[in-house]
Amino acid sequence: MIDLQGVAQRRPSTVGRAARAGAALALALVATGASGTPASPAAPTPRSMAAAEPASATLRVATIGYRLALAAADRCPERTMLTGLVLHDRAAYDERMRGELGGLGWGFGLRDRVAGSPADAAGLRPGDEIVALEGQDMRAYRRGLVTGDGTFARTEAFTALLAATLQDRPAQLRVLRANHESDVIVERRPGCAVGFTLVAGRSLDAWTDGRYLAVTEALAQRADDDALAFAMAHELAHLVLGHTSGPERPFAAFGFGAGPARREEADADRLAIGLAHDAGYDPAGSLRLFEVLRRGGMLRFGLTHPSIRARIAIVTEEIARLSAPAPTSEPALPTGL
């Protein structure tokens, strides 16, 4: 996942109730979807990343995001090649923490990988370090992005380079493991062109800026996999449906012109049920998500969202429709002899 400076300002919360100001601190980079030109290297320091973040939380978000992006590949407006890699590099840490990283050099380290992904199929493991891509040494790659405070911009640049390579052919990676280098091949697997990130935060929320889909630590801790999949599918649905982002409706949060925003949220809820189902998650997790948000006080305001009752009715109807048996045409019975 990635430093999402400014992402929270681009789209108001669509799962919770409020837009946030300021930068979001991301805790890892998941190379499951986003591609293209790397963002600005300006970033807050990810000081808490090594010590405070449970590895399972990052892997959960990575896995759910990967499965959603893979299942929705034909629906998304833009596609890229998915890898299932969860990466970091020395540039992501401040100078003090770089001295505590042990064996990680200036390549790109694997914090984890999604089960069943191309990275998993290639035999990559947590602790591996990618030191070359298609014969190009990655230890010297984009070192100009390294700052004293730490930024994920260098890892993001590598992820974009890997995605561009995979557009044309499987990618050859040279991997350092236990002081031994070996080559592996990462296969091509198309999916939605969106990255997934776990960000520090106590609010129960998820949002997207069109390139990255962010989930707060608090939401990941409180929601089970099916509930979290619905939250992320809701945000992905906004991208699939081409919905307008927040700044183009600056007064919607105050009730002016909020009608279209509420309709978009309802449409996203409907589509999210199908997206979560197609990715192998139980759509009933949507109801558990609304209960988590209600208990957290995140559904008290409805200017830009339908009421909680309306949202529950929407997803309940979609779940019933999804569960209904497909109509069959009965053959006509013969009449007479």
Numbered ranges of CATH 2.30.42.10 in the chain: 25-191
CATH 3.10.20.30 fits 25-191, yes or no: no
d(CA 46, CA 27): 7
Count of CB atoms situated within 10 Å of the CB of 65: 34
Residue with the two structure tokens 């995001």: 65
Token representation of residue 270 = 């409907």
Instruction: Give SS3 for 139.
Output: coil
d(CA 83, CA 93): 24
Continuous segment of H or E residues that includes residue 186: strand 180-186
CA 104 → CA 87, 111, 126, 166, 335, distances in Å?
12, 11, 12, 25, 79
Tell me the pLDDT tens digit for each residue of 80-116. Answer: 999 999 999 999 888 888 877 778 999 999 999 999 9
pLDDT at 28: 54
Q: Could you give the count of Cα atoms lying within 13 Å of 126 in the half-sphere of its Cβ?
A: 9
Instruction: Give SS3 for 239.
Output: helix
Tell me the pLDDT tens digit for each residue of 126-143. Answer: 999 999 999 999 999 999
pLDDT at 67: 98
Instruction: Give SS3 for 112.
Output: strand
Per-residue pLDDT of the chain (337 residues; tens, 9 = 90+): 332 333 333 344 545 433 332 222 344 556 555 544 333 333 333 333 333 344 589 999 999 999 999 999 999 999 999 999 999 999 988 888 887 777 899 999 999 999 999 999 999 999 999 999 999 999 999 998 988 888 889 999 999 999 999 999 999 999 999 999 999 999 999 999 999 999 998 999 999 998 899 999 999 999 999 999 999 999 999 999 998 655 444 333 433 345 677 789 999 999 999 999 999 999 999 999 999 998 887 665 555 567 888 899 999 999 999 988 766 666 655 555 4
pLDDT at 96: 83
Continuous segment of H or E residues that includes residue 30: strand 29-31
Q: Give the CA angle between residues 133, 7, 101 to the nearest 5°.
A: 45
CA 303 → CA 102, 143, 255, 279, 289, distances in Å?
50, 46, 5, 31, 20
Give yes or no for a contact between 230 and 273, defined as CB atoms under 8 angstroms apart.
Answer: yes
Q: DSSP assignment, residue 26?
A: B
d(CA 118, CA 85): 8
pLDDT at 308: 82
Give yes or no for a contact between 90 and 101, defined as CB atoms under 8 angstroms apart.
Answer: yes
Residue with the two structure tokens 């599918």: 233
pLDDT at 299: 62
Q: Give the CA angle between residues 192, 42, 12 to the nearest 5°.
A: 55
Give yes or no for a contact between 242 and 226, defined as CB atoms under 8 angstroms apart.
Answer: no
pLDDT at 302: 57
pLDDT at 331: 60
Q: Please indicate, yes or no, whether the overall pTM of this predicted structure exceeds 0.85.
A: no
Residues ≥6 apart with Cβ < 8 Å to 165: 133, 134, 171
pLDDT at 53: 47
